[in-house]
Amino acid sequence: MRIKVIIPNTSGEFRNAQVEHRKGVAHPGTVVDVVSLPHGPVSIESAADEARAAPYLVEEVCRAAAEGYDAVTVDCAADVALRAVKEIADIPVVSAGEAAFLVAMAIGDRFGVITVLPATAAVIGQNIRAMGLTQRCACVRAVEVPVLDLDTCPGVEERVYQECQQAITADGADVIVLGCTGMARLARRLAERLPVPVVEPGAAAVKLAELMVILRLRPSRRAYPRPAPKQVR
Amino acid sequence: MRIKVIIPNTSGEFRNAQVEHRKGVAHPGTVVDVVSLPHGPVSIESAADEARAAPYLVEEVCRAAAEGYDAVTVDCAADVALRAVKEIADIPVVSAGEAAFLVAMAIGDRFGVITVLPATAAVIGQNIRAMGLTQRCACVRAVEVPVLDLDTCPGVEERVYQECQQAITADGADVIVLGCTGMARLARRLAERLPVPVVEPGAAAVKLAELMVILRLRPSRRAYPRPAPKQVR
Amino acid sequence: MRIKVIIPNTSGEFRNAQVEHRKGVAHPGTVVDVVSLPHGPVSIESAADEARAAPYLVEEVCRAAAEGYDAVTVDCAADVALRAVKEIADIPVVSAGEAAFLVAMAIGDRFGVITVLPATAAVIGQNIRAMGLTQRCACVRAVEVPVLDLDTCPGVEERVYQECQQAITADGADVIVLGCTGMARLARRLAERLPVPVVEPGAAAVKLAELMVILRLRPSRRAYPRPAPKQVR
Amino acid sequence: MRIKVIIPNTSGEFRNAQVEHRKGVAHPGTVVDVVSLPHGPVSIESAADEARAAPYLVEEVCRAAAEGYDAVTVDCAADVALRAVKEIADIPVVSAGEAAFLVAMAIGDRFGVITVLPATAAVIGQNIRAMGLTQRCACVRAVEVPVLDLDTCPGVEERVYQECQQAITADGADVIVLGCTGMARLARRLAERLPVPVVEPGAAAVKLAELMVILRLRPSRRAYPRPAPKQVR
Amino acid sequence: MRIKVIIPNTSGEFRNAQVEHRKGVAHPGTVVDVVSLPHGPVSIESAADEARAAPYLVEEVCRAAAEGYDAVTVDCAADVALRAVKEIADIPVVSAGEAAFLVAMAIGDRFGVITVLPATAAVIGQNIRAMGLTQRCACVRAVEVPVLDLDTCPGVEERVYQECQQAITADGADVIVLGCTGMARLARRLAERLPVPVVEPGAAAVKLAELMVILRLRPSRRAYPRPAPKQVR
Amino acid sequence: MRIKVIIPNTSGEFRNAQVEHRKGVAHPGTVVDVVSLPHGPVSIESAADEARAAPYLVEEVCRAAAEGYDAVTVDCAADVALRAVKEIADIPVVSAGEAAFLVAMAIGDRFGVITVLPATAAVIGQNIRAMGLTQRCACVRAVEVPVLDLDTCPGVEERVYQECQQAITADGADVIVLGCTGMARLARRLAERLPVPVVEPGAAAVKLAELMVILRLRPSRRAYPRPAPKQVR
């Protein structure tokens, strides 16, 4: 099985830091390729970033089937262009935020999301409402560290840990969903320190994509009708 | 007052057909300019279309304040890049679908939306859920006529009328929202024939934009934080 | 265009204090008349007050069309007899609380309402649930100052400001709706001091009424069937 | 124990037809007095009717404690002035529609309401939403027979029966709530003919009022703060 | 009338402590028998406890009609096997938690539940969601005292009182529902000390069972179809 | 990895028919053992059946970790004792109905469930509400064929197919979830004939269990506190 992990930003460093985390959870027989976008913002932290990345992401997803991939994951907890990528793919496409929320609901009652910036939190909060899952979400919190500083800013683990604790104690979260795939390297340590499970969206998406391939499931054409070819200027 | 109406597609004919409908509802002192996008799909009928139009729409909205406009409307019932345009504008920005739903709720209990294609209906249905308004929406129905055929396909008014009737009779709608701004020319006639009010989104957006300017209201920076400047490749 | 603003209480002083705020937001061509009720409570602060004002409000609304008005606003954030006034009017009728909630939803995600007394807050909270808008409301808070003391009680602006801050900080409100039309004089100052927009219901209602007249929209007879004439003892 | 059943209309005939049905379900030790209002509409079928009956109902409820009653029921499935009567009573006050919905939820999953006119159905539907019970309501249907014709119009039982059947078959109702206390005489026969239980609101209210007295429960003053005395003109 | 109160645990002491509280609220003509289960856990504090008690409870309920009872109550605020007991009974069956929530909604807006352990709180919280009543529930809190220690652990009343206060002040509860029938002896005192009504579930269930008998209501066979006889190994 | 699939009924034939379907979707390195319960009903079709199977299921789950399993699935679309099995397991435990609903939400908007009997449909419907997923469920339909007749009753595939078609056409389902793991043998054929994806719960559970093991996720102890040891008679 071949899975294409598409990071919808244009930062090579970000991509390099994710590769091992995505490959590490795949089954031995699964080939995982991790790619970034050729154009668009260097990171996704707002709806404006999403708007600017959207057409390039759609194009990248379009190519996947022709390239021989069995499935695609969109490696972003903010679920960029979530409907569009399901409309245009002929193969399973799994988005990291959505995958993580679904997995979290199987092990807890109300998940808390810890993400990067307030704008990102607002986007994720609305995504969850659009999915009809508000009742199952305890909170969406921001650590106020930009995506590309997550690996370099001192004390990031501690700040994420503190927000997780607040989500649990003040908001009643019983599962934590990391709200940025750039936090993948923190997942293991946080899971050890916190009294609740921690779901890392990038890994959840890879595993859910494998599941979809084995179960022969793809986005419903009734829910996501395939757009007719159309002139784009 | 100057209002910029941005149609998020690239069809000149479509634009020309809308101009009078938008100008016709403005107050005498309001200047209304209607523009299309320079790049992107010729019409918006799916999430994929929205993804491809999004960055050009964002750019067009960005320019509006510098051009001296007091407000912007996004002239599309599918609410393209709804969060993004609110994040990046320094002036009021009103999106046609959202405006129509809000106006409809002031005069009825549950609105029915009549739009063009099944994919458009699916997008609008999810927008309504993202807005938390599902309880107030009776249905979203599609006439299965593409946007750019609305003016030329024979029997369009009748097909829209039939779907409106179904929305009222079978689904319990007590207000109709036209689910495509390209249906503006049908609004008056439908309102005469139907037993319930008909809300035309393009006009609703222009009037709501005027309201916002007079009441000095703009998108909340807490709900829609302004994105920091960022490198886009 | 002529709009009749009906304040559903019987206090002349209250009326006098509102007049300029309502007229001030109307378009140049709009005539705004502000009236009180001839009978009923001096202020509306509870459901019991609403019950006692209701028949006189209904009568006043009934008269409006015959008097030549194009639209009516019910100038109360607690939305007195909201269904009844829509049932009996042949012209657009807009209620201030509802108008403000709808406008707030176009510029923010979750609005916070700041009103006078706990009983008023309870009424408004239930109105919002009846409208199906609970998901979009962060809180309804009371400053514990009666309506008729709003202009004379020292420190009112500060108390309202403090509750707004709490709504934003503790409850996550990203727009403020003033929960009493008697707070109109505070709106401008609060908007300057607070980090989020402030919606004043009386003004919102006047502007939404203008919108309804221009768009030729009235309450749906399916949602609000016109009552047959009936014997009243 | 003494219970005052207040019918919020002014029709003596209607009152006379109800008396035995209310007394018939009370415990032997309970005295039940059934009264109408001195002023107001002859029947309650719309929000406008409710507005016109409201102040007289409030006054009648106010008197009940002084008259020595232990509890009050408001004998109307449309729950006239529901919040107001709870605010002003010092004794338990139970409203018939609300009582019936709560009882229905203990024996079924989704109740269907069968009421008189479309306007009444609209009022009841919104009441149910205001109570936050929409998920538990399958439908609100109207037989299109006015309240005061229920006893004389030929074929009423059959029309009610047909709507009940539709509620069960087409809408999935698994309990029927009669949506007008004037249908009390039909309850027994309908229960025999239908495959689901039938809840009669007037009786449900009397029994729930008895329950409240024995359990020493009254409307919460936090939910329904007692209004301060106030000048009414 | 004869009512069988079934406590779904196996503790004789617990049963003895409840008897007077259940009999005390019944009408003079009602015979109340209080029984425990012959097998199963000594107390119900978790879903695992419920699973272990379920078959014995079902059997005990099955026997009730043959024993000549007119109604059954399941005396547990965690609503053990709620659907199952309704499916298999030919007589009214009322469960204590559900009864208390319904009664609470008639006197307040949002009830707060105070129960024994965190696991019990989690079970009750999910029950409330399964009933579709989440909007009407302010909180479910645990005093962290096991069921069988409620009568002996020093300071229990104070701990319950403190949690009630928190429910009211911090969570906005306007009615308290005791979340364990073993708290019955505390109900009267708490009601005196708290500013809101207190609903005791065991008593609420007995009274609601009486109501069901008089109104001739039983669980709907559409909502709770009677299981066909089946081989059980 | 070793996964224990527990079928919560006592029918050996049923078990034998499932084995290949469960093993067939597992990864090569996964050992799948399929077991039935030693005691309890021969099939699960109602809440009463669930109540009677619950303690034996709990016991079987308890043993799994000691037996060296890495995860457990509860192989029933009606999610028997869903909370209890999560409370008592030290390893991941995935229930088939829940797993299928979560997977369905990743590929469609609103899923339709096709199950065996009306009682089963009622149980599943309430499970979905308890999970807070009502907005995402189009319908739960019953083919009126008992579980143990699914393999022998003539025309079963056609009946299931017809209900699937109704779910899609009349109720708007865009994904089908089979509502009984005994329908596993039909899944492939239905998927070929229907215009939407078909999710088979037993397989979905096995794959989700594998995912949980690789991602090191288990039920949250905050959501599902571990019950203290307790005397069971």
Q: How are strands ordered across the β-sheet holding E175-178?
A: E137-142, E111-115, E175-178, E198-199
Chains that touch B (3 or more CB pairs under 8 A): A, C, D, F
Longest dimension (CA), chain A: 53
| H-only helix segments in D33-113 | 47-66, 82-88, 96-107
Q: Which residues of chain F are at the D interface, by a Cβ-Cβ cutoff of 8 Å?
A: 122, 125-126, 129, 134
Q: What is the pLDDT of residues D80-129, one digit of tens each?
A: 999 999 999 999 999 999 999 999 999 999 999 999 999 999 999 999 99
State residue F228's pLDDT score.
86
Burial bucket for residue A135 (CB in 10 Å: 0-12, 13-18, 19+): middle
> Beta partners for A33?
A4
Q: Residue D233's pLDDT is what?
A: 85
Residue of F nearest to A93 (CA): F107
CB-based contact B122 F109, cutoff 8 Å: yes
Helix axes B201-214, C201-214, angle to 10 degrees: 140
pLDDT digits (tens, 9 = 90+) for C103-158: 999 999 999 999 999 999 999 999 999 999 999 999 999 999 999 999 998 999 99
Strand intervals (E) in chain E: 2-6, 31-35, 71-74, 93-95, 111-115, 137-142, 175-178, 198-199
Three-class SS state of E60: helix
Residues (pLDDT < 50) of chain B are: none
With beta carbons less than 8 A apart as the criterion, state whether F231 and A117 touch: no
pLDDT tens column, F79-119: 999 999 999 999 999 999 999 999 999 999 999 999 999 99
Which chain D residues touch E211 with a CB distance below 8 Å? 103, 204, 207-208, 210-211
Structure tokens at B190: 């439908």
Q: Is the pLDDT of residue A228 over 90?
A: no
- Quickly state the pLDDT bin for A227 (edges 50, 70, 90): very high
Q: What are phi and psi of B175, to 5 degrees?
A: -145, 145
pLDDT band at A233 (very low <50, low <70, confident <90, very high): confident
CA distance B26 to chain A (A): 29
Mean pLDDT for A151-173 is: 96
What pLDDT, on a 0 to 100 scale, did the predictor assign at position D231? 87
Q: Which two tokens stand for residue D66?
A: 């002084």
**DSSP character for D194?**
S
For the stretch D2-56, pLDDT in tens is: 999 999 999 999 999 999 999 999 999 999 999 999 999 999 999 999 999 999 9
Q: Which of A50, A130, A232 sits opposite B84 (nearest CB)?
A: A50
**Shortest Cα distance, chain F CAs vs residue E226, angstroms:** 8
For E126, nearest residue in chain A (alpha carbons): A109
D52 CA to chain B: closest CA distance, Å?
22
Q: Tell me which residue in F105, F132, F195 faces A135 most closely, judged by beta carbons.
A: F132
Place of tokens 């009582």: D99
Q: Which of C111, C116, C94, C96 is nearest to C46 (CA)?
A: C116
Q: How far is CA D65 from the centre of its chain?
A: 20
Residue B162 confidence (pLDDT): 98
Dihedral angle sign, alpha carbons of residues C190, C192, C194, C198? positive
Closest residue of F to B170, CA-based?
A: F170
Strand D71-74 relative to strand C71-74, pairing: unpaired
Residue-wise over C157-194: b if at least 16 C-beta within 10 A, else e?
A: eebbbebbeebbeeebbbbbbbbbbbbbbbbeebbeeb
Cβ pair F135:B125 closer than 8 A: no
Measured CA to CA in angstroms, residue F215 lies from A98, F74, F209, F210 at distances of 16, 19, 10, 9
Q: Which chains does chain D touch, 3 or more C-beta pairs < 8 A?
A: B, C, E, F
Q: Which chains touch C (3 or more CB pairs under 8 A)?
A: A, B, D, E
With an 8 Å Cβ cutoff, the interface of chain E facing chain C consists of 109, 135
Instruction: Please name the residue of chain C whose CA is at the shortest distance from the CA of residue D129.
Output: C130
Q: How confident is the model at residue A12 (pLDDT cuts 50, 70, 90)?
A: very high
Size of interface D-E (CB pairs under 8 A): 137
Q: Sign of the CA dihedral B36, B40, B46, B50?
A: negative
Maximum separation of any 2 CA atoms in chain D, in Å: 53
H/E stretch holding B138:
strand B137-142
Distance from CA of C170 to the nearest CA of D (A): 21
Instruction: Give the chain F residue nearest B129 (alpha carbons).
Output: F135
C209 to chain D, minimum CA–CA distance in Å?
Answer: 21
- Judged by CB atoms closer than 8 Å, whether chains meet at B195 and C94 is answered as no
Q: How many residues in total does chain D contain?
A: 233
Smallest Cα–Cα separation from B201: which of B224, B183, B227, B188? B183
Within 13 A of B38's CA, how many CA atoms are on the CB side? 6
Q: Are D177 and D128 in contact, with CB atoms under 8 Å apart?
A: no
What confidence category does residue C190 fall into, taking pLDDT thresholds of 50, 70 and 90? very high
* Domains of chain C listed by start with CATH number: 2-95+204-214 (3.40.50.12500), 97-201 (3.40.50.12500)
pLDDT, tens digit (0-9, with 9 covering 90-100), for D69-81 = 999 999 999 999 9
Which of D49, D54, D127 is nearest residue C51 as measured by Cβ atoms? D54
Please report the pLDDT score of residue E88 as a whole number. 96
CB contact (8 A) between residue B108 and residue C220:
yes
> What is the residue whose two structure tokens read 């057409």?
A55
Copy the structure tokens of residue A227: 């757009």
Total CB pairs under 8 A between chain A and F? 137
When pLDDT is averaged across residues D151-170 and rounded to a whole number, the result is: 96
Nearest chain F residue to A169 by CA distance is F222
**Calpha distance A132→A101 (Å, rounded):** 11
Region F45-68: what's the mean pLDDT?
97
Q: Is the interface score ipTM higher than 0.90?
A: yes
C122–chain E nearest CA distance, Å: 9
Largest CA distance in chain E: 53
pLDDT digits (tens, 9 = 90+) for E197-230: 999 999 999 999 999 999 999 999 999 999 988 9
Distance from C-alpha of D74 to C-alpha of D94, rounded to nearest angstrom: 6
Interface test with A, best of B80, B87, B88 (most A CBs within 10 A): B87
Residue F232 has pLDDT above 90, yes or no: no
CB atoms under 10 Å from CB of B90, counted, come to 13
Verify whether the Cβ–Cβ distance D218 to E211 is below 8 Å. Answer: no
Over residues E188-198, the pLDDT tens digits come to 999 999 999 99
The pLDDT of residue A65 is above 90: no
DSSP-derived 3-state class of residue B202: helix
Count CB neighbours of E233 within 10 A: 14
What does the pLDDT read at residue C115?
98
| Chain E nearest-CA residue for F36 | E233
**3-state secondary structure labels for all residues of chain F:** CEEEEECCCCCHHHHHHHHHHHHHHCCCCCEEEEECCCCCECCCCCHHHHHHHHHHHHHHHHHHHHCCCCEEEECCCCCCCHHHHHHHCCCCEEEHHHHHHHHHHHHCCCEEEEECCHHHHHHHHHHHHHCCCHHHEEEEEECCCCHHHCCCCCCHHHHHHHHHHHHHHCCCCCEEEECCHHHHHHHHHHHHHCCCCEECHHHHHHHHHHHHHHCCCCCCCCCCCCCCCCCEC
Residue E205: other Cβ atoms inside 10 A: 32
How buried is B155 (Cβ within 10 angstroms: 0-12 exposed, 13-18 middle, 19+ buried)?
A: exposed
With CA atoms as reference, the chain B residue closest to A57 would be: B51
pLDDT given for residue B63 in this prediction: 96
Best of E10, E222, E232 to substitute, by most chain F Cβ atoms within 10 angstroms, is E232
Question: What number of other Cβ atoms are within 10 A of residue E158's Cβ?
Answer: 10
Chains B and A touch (3+ CB pairs under 8 A): yes
Distance from CA of F188 to the nearest CA of B (A): 27
- 8 A C-beta contact, residue A120 and residue A46: yes
Confidence class of residue E232 from pLDDT cuts 50, 70 and 90?
confident
* pLDDT score for E233: 85
Q: How many other C-beta atoms lie within 10 A of the C-beta of residue E24?
A: 12
Q: How far is E176 from chain C (nearest CA, A)?
A: 18
